[in-house]
Amino acid sequence: MKIFKKKFFRVFNILILSFVFISEFTNFAFSETKIDNLKKYKAAILVEAETGKVLNEFKSNEKMIPASIVKMMLLLLAYEAERKGTFSFDEKVHISLDASRIGGSQVYLKEGEVFTLRELIKTVAISSANDSAHAIAEHIAGDEKEMVKLMNERAKSLGMHNTKFSSVHGLPPKNSLREEDYTTAFDTAILARELVKFSEVLNFSKRQIDSFRDGKFVLYNTNRKLLKTFKGLDGLKTGYYTKSGYNLCATARRGSMRLISVVFGASNKKARDRETKKLLLGGFRVYKKHSLFVKHQSVGEAIPVSWGRKDKIRAVTSEPISLVIKRIRLKEFKTQFVLPKSLKAPLKRGQKIGVLNVMMNGNLIASTSLIVPEEIPAMGWIEWLMSK
Protein backbone atom coordinates (compact mmCIF):
# COMPACT_ATOMS: atom_id res chain seq x y z
CA MET A 1 0.00 0.00 0.00
CA LYS A 2 2.85 2.38 0.90
CA ILE A 3 4.60 1.59 -2.38
CA PHE A 4 1.37 2.36 -4.25
CA LYS A 5 1.01 5.72 -2.44
CA LYS A 6 4.62 6.69 -3.27
CA LYS A 7 4.11 5.84 -6.94
CA PHE A 8 0.80 7.71 -6.98
CA PHE A 9 2.25 10.91 -5.50
CA ARG A 10 5.29 10.68 -7.80
CA VAL A 11 3.03 10.49 -10.89
CA PHE A 12 0.80 13.21 -9.46
CA ASN A 13 3.77 15.57 -8.94
CA ILE A 14 5.01 14.91 -12.47
CA LEU A 15 1.58 15.74 -13.86
CA ILE A 16 1.40 18.95 -11.84
CA LEU A 17 4.86 20.05 -13.01
CA SER A 18 3.95 19.19 -16.60
CA PHE A 19 0.76 21.22 -16.30
CA VAL A 20 2.66 24.20 -14.95
CA PHE A 21 5.26 23.98 -17.74
CA ILE A 22 2.60 23.66 -20.44
CA SER A 23 0.62 26.55 -18.94
CA GLU A 24 3.69 28.76 -18.86
CA PHE A 25 4.64 27.84 -22.43
CA THR A 26 1.08 28.44 -23.65
CA ASN A 27 0.90 31.83 -21.95
CA PHE A 28 4.25 32.82 -23.46
CA ALA A 29 3.18 31.73 -26.94
CA PHE A 30 -0.15 33.56 -26.65
CA SER A 31 1.59 36.67 -25.45
CA GLU A 32 4.02 36.58 -28.39
CA THR A 33 1.17 36.13 -30.86
CA LYS A 34 -0.69 39.04 -29.35
CA ILE A 35 2.37 41.28 -29.65
CA ASP A 36 2.92 40.21 -33.27
CA ASN A 37 -0.65 41.10 -34.15
CA LEU A 38 -0.39 44.64 -32.80
CA LYS A 39 -0.06 47.17 -35.62
CA LYS A 40 3.16 49.11 -35.22
CA TYR A 41 2.21 51.54 -37.98
CA LYS A 42 -0.72 53.68 -39.12
CA ALA A 43 -1.06 52.24 -42.62
CA ALA A 44 0.64 49.67 -44.82
CA ILE A 45 0.38 47.77 -48.09
CA LEU A 46 2.20 45.01 -49.97
CA VAL A 47 1.89 44.66 -53.76
CA GLU A 48 3.53 42.74 -56.58
CA ALA A 49 5.28 45.25 -58.82
CA GLU A 50 4.38 44.04 -62.33
CA THR A 51 0.71 43.16 -61.86
CA GLY A 52 -0.09 45.55 -59.00
CA LYS A 53 -1.84 42.73 -57.16
CA VAL A 54 -2.43 43.69 -53.52
CA LEU A 55 -1.14 40.88 -51.30
CA ASN A 56 -1.66 42.52 -47.91
CA GLU A 57 -2.91 45.87 -46.65
CA PHE A 58 -3.93 47.84 -43.57
CA LYS A 59 -5.77 51.17 -43.91
CA SER A 60 -4.04 51.59 -47.25
CA ASN A 61 -6.44 54.31 -48.47
CA GLU A 62 -6.18 56.55 -45.42
CA LYS A 63 -4.40 59.85 -45.99
CA MET A 64 -0.93 60.04 -44.46
CA ILE A 65 1.95 62.53 -44.35
CA PRO A 66 4.69 61.07 -46.59
CA ALA A 67 7.59 63.33 -45.54
CA SER A 68 10.60 62.60 -47.82
CA ILE A 69 8.72 59.89 -49.72
CA VAL A 70 7.48 62.91 -51.72
CA LYS A 71 10.87 62.82 -53.47
CA MET A 72 9.87 59.61 -55.25
CA MET A 73 7.62 61.67 -57.53
CA LEU A 74 10.40 64.17 -58.14
CA LEU A 75 12.71 61.31 -59.17
CA LEU A 76 10.06 59.78 -61.41
CA LEU A 77 9.55 63.05 -63.31
CA ALA A 78 13.30 63.51 -63.68
CA TYR A 79 13.76 60.01 -65.13
CA GLU A 80 10.73 60.32 -67.40
CA ALA A 81 12.04 63.65 -68.71
CA GLU A 82 15.44 62.11 -69.41
CA ARG A 83 13.84 59.16 -71.23
CA LYS A 84 11.88 61.55 -73.45
CA GLY A 85 15.10 63.41 -74.26
CA THR A 86 13.96 66.64 -72.62
CA PHE A 87 16.98 66.63 -70.32
CA SER A 88 20.33 64.87 -70.12
CA PHE A 89 21.62 63.65 -66.78
CA ASP A 90 25.06 64.88 -67.80
CA GLU A 91 23.99 68.51 -68.14
CA LYS A 92 25.11 71.05 -65.55
CA VAL A 93 22.91 72.35 -62.76
CA HIS A 94 23.79 75.72 -61.21
CA ILE A 95 22.91 75.91 -57.53
CA SER A 96 20.73 78.88 -56.55
CA LEU A 97 20.61 80.79 -53.27
CA ASP A 98 17.18 79.29 -52.53
CA ALA A 99 18.47 75.73 -52.97
CA SER A 100 21.40 76.44 -50.63
CA ARG A 101 18.99 77.56 -47.89
CA ILE A 102 16.90 74.38 -47.71
CA GLY A 103 17.28 72.67 -44.34
CA GLY A 104 16.84 69.16 -42.99
CA SER A 105 18.74 66.28 -44.60
CA GLN A 106 21.13 67.86 -47.09
CA VAL A 107 24.51 67.83 -48.81
CA TYR A 108 25.13 71.50 -47.99
CA LEU A 109 24.97 72.93 -51.47
CA LYS A 110 26.37 76.43 -51.90
CA GLU A 111 25.14 79.16 -54.20
CA GLY A 112 27.12 79.13 -57.43
CA GLU A 113 28.25 75.49 -57.21
CA VAL A 114 27.75 73.39 -60.32
CA PHE A 115 26.94 69.66 -60.45
CA THR A 116 25.52 67.33 -63.07
CA LEU A 117 21.86 66.43 -62.83
CA ARG A 118 22.87 62.81 -62.26
CA GLU A 119 25.05 63.74 -59.26
CA LEU A 120 22.17 65.57 -57.60
CA ILE A 121 19.75 62.74 -58.32
CA LYS A 122 22.18 60.34 -56.65
CA THR A 123 22.18 62.42 -53.45
CA VAL A 124 18.37 62.40 -53.39
CA ALA A 125 18.06 58.66 -54.03
CA ILE A 126 20.71 57.68 -51.47
CA SER A 127 20.71 60.24 -48.67
CA SER A 128 17.44 62.11 -49.31
CA ALA A 129 19.09 65.51 -49.80
CA ASN A 130 16.47 68.27 -49.58
CA ASP A 131 18.71 70.94 -51.10
CA SER A 132 19.42 68.71 -54.11
CA ALA A 133 15.69 68.07 -54.54
CA HIS A 134 15.07 71.82 -54.69
CA ALA A 135 17.92 72.31 -57.20
CA ILE A 136 16.55 69.52 -59.43
CA ALA A 137 13.07 71.07 -59.32
CA GLU A 138 14.43 74.48 -60.35
CA HIS A 139 16.42 72.98 -63.20
CA ILE A 140 13.57 70.89 -64.61
CA ALA A 141 10.56 73.14 -64.03
CA GLY A 142 11.98 76.61 -63.34
CA ASP A 143 10.93 76.78 -59.71
CA GLU A 144 9.48 74.66 -56.92
CA LYS A 145 5.90 75.88 -57.44
CA GLU A 146 5.88 74.79 -61.07
CA MET A 147 7.48 71.46 -60.16
CA VAL A 148 4.81 70.79 -57.54
CA LYS A 149 2.19 71.44 -60.22
CA LEU A 150 3.83 68.87 -62.51
CA MET A 151 4.03 66.37 -59.65
CA ASN A 152 0.31 66.67 -58.93
CA GLU A 153 -0.57 66.38 -62.62
CA ARG A 154 1.48 63.18 -62.88
CA ALA A 155 -0.10 61.80 -59.70
CA LYS A 156 -3.55 62.37 -61.20
CA SER A 157 -2.59 60.66 -64.47
CA LEU A 158 -1.35 57.62 -62.51
CA GLY A 159 -4.62 57.31 -60.61
CA MET A 160 -3.22 58.53 -57.29
CA HIS A 161 -6.59 59.97 -56.30
CA ASN A 162 -5.81 60.57 -52.62
CA THR A 163 -2.52 62.39 -53.06
CA LYS A 164 -1.63 66.07 -53.04
CA PHE A 165 1.92 67.35 -53.14
CA SER A 166 2.76 70.79 -51.74
CA SER A 167 6.55 70.52 -51.80
CA VAL A 168 9.33 68.77 -53.72
CA HIS A 169 11.11 67.54 -50.59
CA GLY A 170 8.45 66.67 -47.99
CA LEU A 171 9.70 68.95 -45.23
CA PRO A 172 7.04 70.19 -42.76
CA PRO A 173 5.45 73.55 -43.65
CA LYS A 174 7.16 76.53 -42.02
CA ASN A 175 3.97 78.57 -42.02
CA SER A 176 0.29 78.46 -42.96
CA LEU A 177 1.05 79.52 -46.52
CA ARG A 178 1.90 75.93 -47.43
CA GLU A 179 -0.23 72.86 -46.75
CA GLU A 180 1.05 69.47 -45.63
CA ASP A 181 1.85 66.96 -48.35
CA TYR A 182 -0.46 63.96 -48.13
CA THR A 183 -0.83 60.59 -49.81
CA THR A 184 -1.84 57.01 -49.03
CA ALA A 185 -0.04 53.70 -48.85
CA PHE A 186 -2.00 52.56 -51.93
CA ASP A 187 -1.07 55.66 -53.95
CA THR A 188 2.57 55.35 -52.91
CA ALA A 189 2.60 51.77 -54.19
CA ILE A 190 1.28 53.04 -57.56
CA LEU A 191 4.12 55.58 -57.67
CA ALA A 192 6.71 52.96 -56.69
CA ARG A 193 5.56 50.61 -59.47
CA GLU A 194 6.37 53.33 -62.01
CA LEU A 195 9.66 54.33 -60.41
CA VAL A 196 11.13 50.80 -60.26
CA LYS A 197 10.88 50.63 -64.05
CA PHE A 198 14.01 52.81 -64.08
CA SER A 199 16.91 50.57 -63.16
CA GLU A 200 19.30 53.43 -62.41
CA VAL A 201 17.09 54.58 -59.52
CA LEU A 202 17.47 51.15 -57.96
CA ASN A 203 21.17 51.17 -58.71
CA PHE A 204 21.43 54.27 -56.51
CA SER A 205 18.87 53.33 -53.85
CA LYS A 206 20.54 49.98 -53.12
CA ARG A 207 23.90 51.56 -52.23
CA GLN A 208 24.50 51.60 -48.49
CA ILE A 209 27.22 54.23 -48.81
CA ASP A 210 28.57 56.46 -51.59
CA SER A 211 30.21 59.83 -52.03
CA PHE A 212 29.66 63.33 -53.41
CA ARG A 213 31.92 66.26 -54.35
CA ASP A 214 34.62 64.00 -55.81
CA GLY A 215 34.65 61.77 -52.73
CA LYS A 216 34.91 64.61 -50.19
CA PHE A 217 31.34 64.19 -48.87
CA VAL A 218 30.07 60.79 -47.69
CA LEU A 219 26.52 59.77 -48.58
CA TYR A 220 24.92 57.37 -46.10
CA ASN A 221 21.76 55.62 -47.26
CA THR A 222 18.83 56.40 -44.98
CA ASN A 223 17.75 52.76 -45.39
CA ARG A 224 21.19 51.13 -45.08
CA LYS A 225 20.41 48.79 -42.15
CA LEU A 226 17.58 47.07 -44.00
CA LEU A 227 19.57 46.97 -47.23
CA LYS A 228 22.32 45.17 -45.36
CA THR A 229 20.10 42.54 -43.75
CA PHE A 230 17.27 41.75 -46.20
CA LYS A 231 18.03 39.54 -49.19
CA GLY A 232 17.03 41.08 -52.51
CA LEU A 233 16.20 44.53 -51.14
CA ASP A 234 17.33 47.32 -53.48
CA GLY A 235 15.28 50.40 -52.53
CA LEU A 236 13.42 52.56 -52.27
CA LYS A 237 12.74 55.62 -50.03
CA THR A 238 12.41 56.57 -46.37
CA GLY A 239 10.56 59.53 -44.87
CA TYR A 240 10.33 61.03 -41.41
CA TYR A 241 9.47 63.99 -39.28
CA THR A 242 7.65 64.11 -35.95
CA LYS A 243 4.11 64.47 -37.28
CA SER A 244 4.48 61.87 -40.04
CA GLY A 245 6.23 59.17 -38.02
CA TYR A 246 8.70 56.77 -39.64
CA ASN A 247 7.77 55.89 -43.21
CA LEU A 248 9.32 53.50 -45.70
CA CYS A 249 8.52 52.44 -49.23
CA ALA A 250 10.71 49.37 -49.81
CA THR A 251 11.16 47.01 -52.73
CA ALA A 252 12.86 43.64 -53.06
CA ARG A 253 13.29 41.11 -55.84
CA ARG A 254 13.65 37.37 -55.43
CA GLY A 255 13.62 35.24 -58.54
CA SER A 256 11.10 36.59 -61.04
CA MET A 257 8.98 38.40 -58.46
CA ARG A 258 9.45 41.97 -57.24
CA LEU A 259 7.44 43.11 -54.23
CA ILE A 260 6.78 46.64 -53.01
CA SER A 261 5.87 47.40 -49.41
CA VAL A 262 4.78 50.69 -47.86
CA VAL A 263 4.73 51.38 -44.12
CA PHE A 264 3.47 54.73 -42.84
CA GLY A 265 3.57 56.17 -39.33
CA ALA A 266 5.76 53.61 -37.53
CA SER A 267 6.74 54.61 -34.00
CA ASN A 268 10.49 54.29 -34.59
CA LYS A 269 13.08 53.05 -37.10
CA LYS A 270 13.25 49.56 -35.63
CA ALA A 271 9.48 49.12 -35.84
CA ARG A 272 9.48 50.50 -39.40
CA ASP A 273 12.18 48.06 -40.51
CA ARG A 274 10.71 45.10 -38.61
CA GLU A 275 7.22 45.55 -40.06
CA THR A 276 8.66 46.04 -43.55
CA LYS A 277 10.55 42.75 -43.22
CA LYS A 278 7.38 40.98 -42.08
CA LEU A 279 5.40 42.24 -45.05
CA LEU A 280 8.05 41.33 -47.61
CA LEU A 281 8.91 37.95 -46.09
CA GLY A 282 5.24 37.03 -45.89
CA GLY A 283 4.80 37.90 -49.55
CA PHE A 284 7.79 35.87 -50.74
CA ARG A 285 6.89 32.85 -48.58
CA VAL A 286 3.19 32.66 -49.40
CA TYR A 287 3.01 33.86 -53.02
CA LYS A 288 4.60 32.84 -56.30
CA LYS A 289 4.64 34.65 -59.62
CA HIS A 290 3.65 32.33 -62.45
CA SER A 291 4.22 33.53 -66.03
CA LEU A 292 1.55 31.70 -68.04
CA PHE A 293 1.88 33.30 -71.47
CA VAL A 294 4.23 35.76 -73.12
CA LYS A 295 3.14 38.41 -75.59
CA HIS A 296 2.39 37.05 -79.09
CA GLN A 297 2.60 33.43 -77.96
CA SER A 298 0.83 30.95 -80.26
CA VAL A 299 -2.05 29.18 -78.51
CA GLY A 300 -4.89 26.80 -79.31
CA GLU A 301 -5.41 24.62 -82.34
CA ALA A 302 -4.79 25.77 -85.92
CA ILE A 303 -7.88 27.51 -87.37
CA PRO A 304 -8.86 26.93 -91.04
CA VAL A 305 -8.97 30.11 -93.18
CA SER A 306 -11.21 30.15 -96.26
CA TRP A 307 -10.42 32.33 -99.30
CA GLY A 308 -7.02 33.15 -97.81
CA ARG A 309 -3.52 32.93 -99.25
CA LYS A 310 -2.76 30.91 -96.13
CA ASP A 311 -5.10 28.04 -95.35
CA LYS A 312 -4.75 28.05 -91.56
CA ILE A 313 -3.39 30.12 -88.67
CA ARG A 314 -2.85 29.83 -84.93
CA ALA A 315 -4.00 32.72 -82.76
CA VAL A 316 -1.47 34.59 -80.61
CA THR A 317 -1.86 36.43 -77.31
CA SER A 318 -2.11 40.21 -77.51
CA GLU A 319 -0.57 40.70 -74.04
CA PRO A 320 1.36 38.54 -71.56
CA ILE A 321 -0.41 36.91 -68.62
CA SER A 322 1.29 36.54 -65.27
CA LEU A 323 -0.39 35.36 -62.10
CA VAL A 324 0.67 36.18 -58.57
CA ILE A 325 -0.95 33.40 -56.63
CA LYS A 326 -0.63 31.65 -53.29
CA ARG A 327 1.75 28.71 -53.63
CA ILE A 328 -0.81 26.37 -52.11
CA ARG A 329 -3.24 27.18 -54.96
CA LEU A 330 -0.85 26.97 -57.91
CA LYS A 331 -2.62 23.94 -59.45
CA GLU A 332 -6.17 25.27 -59.12
CA PHE A 333 -6.36 27.60 -62.14
CA LYS A 334 -7.47 26.57 -65.64
CA THR A 335 -7.04 28.19 -69.06
CA GLN A 336 -9.88 28.57 -71.52
CA PHE A 337 -9.55 29.46 -75.22
CA VAL A 338 -12.60 31.02 -76.89
CA LEU A 339 -11.93 30.86 -80.63
CA PRO A 340 -13.97 30.46 -83.86
CA LYS A 341 -13.96 27.12 -85.68
CA SER A 342 -13.03 28.84 -88.97
CA LEU A 343 -12.08 32.25 -90.38
CA LYS A 344 -12.53 33.99 -93.71
CA ALA A 345 -9.88 36.13 -95.40
CA PRO A 346 -8.90 38.92 -95.59
CA LEU A 347 -7.49 39.09 -92.06
CA LYS A 348 -5.46 41.97 -90.65
CA ARG A 349 -2.47 41.52 -88.40
CA GLY A 350 -3.54 42.16 -84.80
CA GLN A 351 -7.23 41.60 -85.57
CA LYS A 352 -9.06 40.22 -82.55
CA ILE A 353 -10.50 36.76 -83.15
CA GLY A 354 -10.96 35.39 -79.63
CA VAL A 355 -10.08 35.56 -75.99
CA LEU A 356 -7.97 33.60 -73.52
CA ASN A 357 -9.46 33.34 -70.03
CA VAL A 358 -7.78 32.12 -66.86
CA MET A 359 -10.32 30.70 -64.40
CA MET A 360 -10.13 29.66 -60.78
CA ASN A 361 -13.06 27.99 -59.04
CA GLY A 362 -15.39 29.30 -61.74
CA ASN A 363 -14.17 32.89 -61.43
CA LEU A 364 -12.33 34.86 -64.10
CA ILE A 365 -8.97 35.98 -62.70
CA ALA A 366 -7.14 37.06 -65.88
CA SER A 367 -7.72 37.37 -69.61
CA THR A 368 -6.20 38.66 -72.84
CA SER A 369 -7.37 39.02 -76.44
CA LEU A 370 -6.32 36.46 -79.02
CA ILE A 371 -5.31 38.03 -82.32
CA VAL A 372 -4.21 37.24 -85.88
CA PRO A 373 -0.41 36.91 -86.02
CA GLU A 374 0.04 38.18 -89.61
CA GLU A 375 -1.86 39.77 -92.44
CA ILE A 376 -3.64 37.24 -94.69
CA PRO A 377 -4.96 38.73 -97.95
CA ALA A 378 -7.97 37.20 -99.66
CA MET A 379 -7.54 35.26 -102.93
CA GLY A 380 -9.31 36.26 -106.13
CA TRP A 381 -11.60 33.82 -108.02
CA ILE A 382 -8.91 32.76 -110.48
CA GLU A 383 -6.34 32.35 -107.73
CA TRP A 384 -8.88 30.34 -105.74
CA LEU A 385 -9.68 28.06 -108.67
CA MET A 386 -5.99 27.46 -109.37
CA SER A 387 -5.46 26.43 -105.76
CA LYS A 388 -8.01 23.62 -106.08
Of 239, 238, 230, 279, the closest CA to residue 259 belongs to 279
Catalytic residue among 71, 122, 237, 289: 71
387 is catalytic: no
Known catalytic membership, residue 256: no
For residue 73, count CB atoms less than 10 angstroms from its CB and return exposed for 0-12, middle for 13-18, buried for 19 or more: buried
Catalytic (active site) residue 71: yes
Q: Which of 40, 59, 68, 205 is catalytic?
A: 68
Query: CB–CB of 257/291 below 8 Å?
Result: no
**Considering 60, 128, 166, 244, which one is annotated as catalytic?**
128
Residues belonging to the active site = 68, 71, 128
